[in-house]
Structures are given as C-alpha cells and as structure tokens.
Amino acid sequence: MTEQDFIPKPYTNEISNGKTSWKSPSNIALVKYWGKKDGQIPANPSISFTLDNCTTTTNLKFTKLVKSVEDYSFDIWLEGKLKIDFKPKIATFFKRIENYLPFLKEYHFTIETSNSFPHSSGIASSASGMSALALCLMDIERLLNPSMIDDYFIQKASFLARLGSGSAARSIEGPIVQWGMHKDTEGSSDLIGIKYPFNVHEVFKNYCDTILLVDKGQKQVSSTVGHDLMHNHPFAKQRFSQAHKNLSKFKNIFAEGNLKEFIKIVESEALTLHAMMMTSHPYFMLMKPNTLEIINKIWAFRVQSKTHVCFTLDAGANVHLLYPESEKSIIDQFIKNELVAYCENGQYICDQIGFGAKKA
Ligand code: DP6
C-alpha cells in the first residue's frame, strides 16, 4: 500500500449538496504512539482498544460553490457554538488531505460537532473528532464515486483521519486496532490502522476502561510538540525498538488471555511515555500529584484484592483504569471508596471496549 493508492480517479458523479453524519469513538493506546516522521508517519507501531461511550458526533453539510475557492470554505461549530479558533486546525487538515480529496475546494462545508464527554475533561477529542470528519468526507467521495467498495472506504477513512491526528487512524474500527508497520503483523501499515488480525481471548472481549478525570485544565504541552521532542531525544532509538518488542509480546498475551503480562506491558508503556516527556529537551511533566496517588492506590489494591486492575495514561494527567468485566463490581467499589477523592470534582467516565465508528 502506498499514498498513491488513495488518490482517486476522476469522479463519475456530480452532487450539488447534501449532508451526512458519523459518530466516532475515542481510543486508548496500549502500546503508545509517541514520535513521528514527516507526513504523519509514526516512529513506531501502536495498538489500542477502541472505546464505546467516549465519542464525537459530526454532522457535515456540503453545498457546491459556483466557483471553486483558493482557500477552503467552511464553518465549524462545537456544541452549537461557532468555533473560529478551531479553523486553523481544520484548514491544516484540509491542506494535508487535498491531494486525496480533490473536491475539497469545490464545496462550502458546515461542520457541526459534539462530544459525549465534557468539553474540558482533558480527554483528547482529536482521535474521535478527526475520524468522524474523515468518515463524513468519505461519504461525499462515495457519492461522487458510487462504485467504491467498503474496504476502500474504511481504509481511506483511516488514512485521512491519520493526517488529521495520528491516533485518529485507530478510531475507525474496533475492538482492537494496530497502526504502524510491524514485522509480525501481515497487512500492517504506517498509513492506516487495521483491525488486530490475531486471536483475542474472551477475557478481553468486554474489557472495561474507567477514565478518572484528574485534571481537566488545558495541557501545558500539546501532543504535537511532544511528538516533535522525540527528534534527537536521547532514548528515542531504544524506545522505538521497545515498542516493536512490546507489540510482539501482545500476540501471546491476547491469545492466551495472560492478564499478568498484559498488566506489565500496559503499565510500562504508560510510564515510558511519560518518562520520554520527562527526559526530552525541553523536559516537561503532564502527570499531577493525584495521578501518582491513584497509581499507588491501584498497585496496593491489586495485591490486596487479587484483581487485575491496571492503569494507562495518555498525554495528560487523567488515569485510565483497565480491568476485565468480571471484576466490574469490585473495581466500582474501589473507585468510589478510594479513587474518586483524587478526581477533579469527583468526576470519572465509565467506558469499555467498542466496535468502531457508526453512521449517525
Ligand atoms: C499519547 O494522535 O494526539 O495519546 O498525531 O500530533 O495529532 P498528533 O498526536 P496524537 O498523539 C497521541 C499520543 C498518545 C498515544 C497514543 O494515542 O498512541
């Protein structure tokens, strides 16, 4: 597969206006994407659980312009409010994907988007947001080229989403998605996310993710800046090779349902991600004191309760608690008794593994 595969042939149909809508989930990485090359190419492969409840719904209305524009013509609304400050990010996205969607300058777009999670929850909406928008744009392309097959639709949606935000490539399908080339995974690609092709044990089928909202404020350092700091990072080489090795280990872990090994890698990946932040130049830290309090509580509780709860982190202070569904009631109690106190305003979000984006 190459980028060339996503440049369309001349369209066979014409369409003057219409609307479409997609609901896309967020995802939580088990092996983290941290570091990229030009063109949104990941420095290492990553793998994630697709989530179910944390979603972005995007409605896209499109009207053919009398004359195509030099720049792009669009408005973006978030939860009913016009968001002028979102425009540069969308314009950058459009610029990156224009070669692959040559109709972009021929239409005016109204993008209406809303998230299922609170806006300032510290939950990144870029994965769900960019994947929902990519899917809406693919709907338009399918109208212009009705012979498009479903596989191509899904692959190109992931390809486009990646160009909006890397992790968004993993938010089209579910329940487990790998993005990035890896020697053991046939069909894996740096250009798109693919459904994890190997056996997955029953225990992972309904895996739970409770997101503890530790700090809902604006992050001091964006992911984009963080990725950039992996260039010339003293530990970059070792980190990228570790991610490849960890991904290999998941093959047996998933097949056997080996929760002990799962926990080891997932927690190590989370701490390594943050270790990369703390050892870059300039260095920075996104964990907060309560992030560490929660981690220590999890470690103590896991030993004492003999459960399999573990944590992971994304690029922020919030903690994702991962555990099998069979342990839900005991972990619920643990959260209420011991962890809620460390969440901002006592807030947390209950989620679980999900099956990907849906037409809304
Ligand atoms: C820590 O996908 O948000 O969540 O490609 O610059 O938009 P951009 O970055 P983004 O990075 C996500 C980083 C992460 C790990 C992960 O999801 O794999």
The residue extents of the domains of the chain are: 3-198, 203-352
CB 12 within 8 A of CB 145: yes
Q: Which residues contact 183 (CB under 8 A, 6 or more apart)?
A: 244
Residue from 247, 118, 232, 99 nearest 159 by CA? 99
Which residue's CA lies nearest to atom 6 of ligand 1?
224
Whether 44 is in the pocket of ligand 1, judged by its Cβ within 6 Å, is: no
Domain 3-198: state its class.
alpha beta
pTM summary value = 0.97
Whether 224 is in the pocket of ligand 1, judged by its Cβ within 6 Å, is: yes
DSSP 211: E
Q: Which of the listed residues 49, 51, 126, 167 should we mutate to test ligand 1's pocket, taking the one with most ligand atoms within 8 A of CB?
A: 167
Domains 3-198 and 203-352 share a fold: no
Spell out the alpha helix ranges (H) of the chain: 87-97, 126-144, 150-164, 223-228, 236-256, 259-278, 289-305, 328-334
Instruction: Phi first, then psi: give them for residue 111, nearest 5 degrees.
Output: -105, 115
Give 226 Cα–ligand 1 centroid separation in angstroms.
9
Q: What is the residue type of 57?
A: T
- The model's pLDDT over 113-148, given as tens digits with 9 standing for 90+, comes to 999 987 666 677 899 999 999 999 999 999 999 999
Instruction: Phi first, then psi: give them for residue 329, nearest 5 degrees.
Output: -70, -40
Regarding beta strands 358-359 and 17-31, do their DSSP bridges make them parallel or antiparallel, or are they unpaired? antiparallel
Q: Which of the listed residues 86, 223, 231 should we mutate to test ligand 1's pocket, taking the one with most ligand atoms within 8 A of CB?
A: 223
Whether 13 is in the pocket of ligand 1, judged by its Cβ within 6 Å, is: no
pLDDT range class, residue 221, cuts 50, 70, 90: confident
- The model's pLDDT over 86-118, given as tens digits with 9 standing for 90+, comes to 999 999 999 999 999 999 999 999 999 999 987
Collapsing DSSP to helix, strand or coil, 194 comes out as: strand
Q: Which of the listed residues 227, 239, 313, 318 should we mutate to test ligand 1's pocket, taking the one with most ligand atoms within 8 A of CB?
A: 227
Q: What value does the mean pLDDT take over residues 220-225?
A: 88
- The model's pLDDT over 17-69, given as tens digits with 9 standing for 90+, comes to 999 999 999 999 999 999 999 999 999 999 999 999 999 999 999 999 999 88
Domain 203-352 has CATH 3.30.70.890: yes
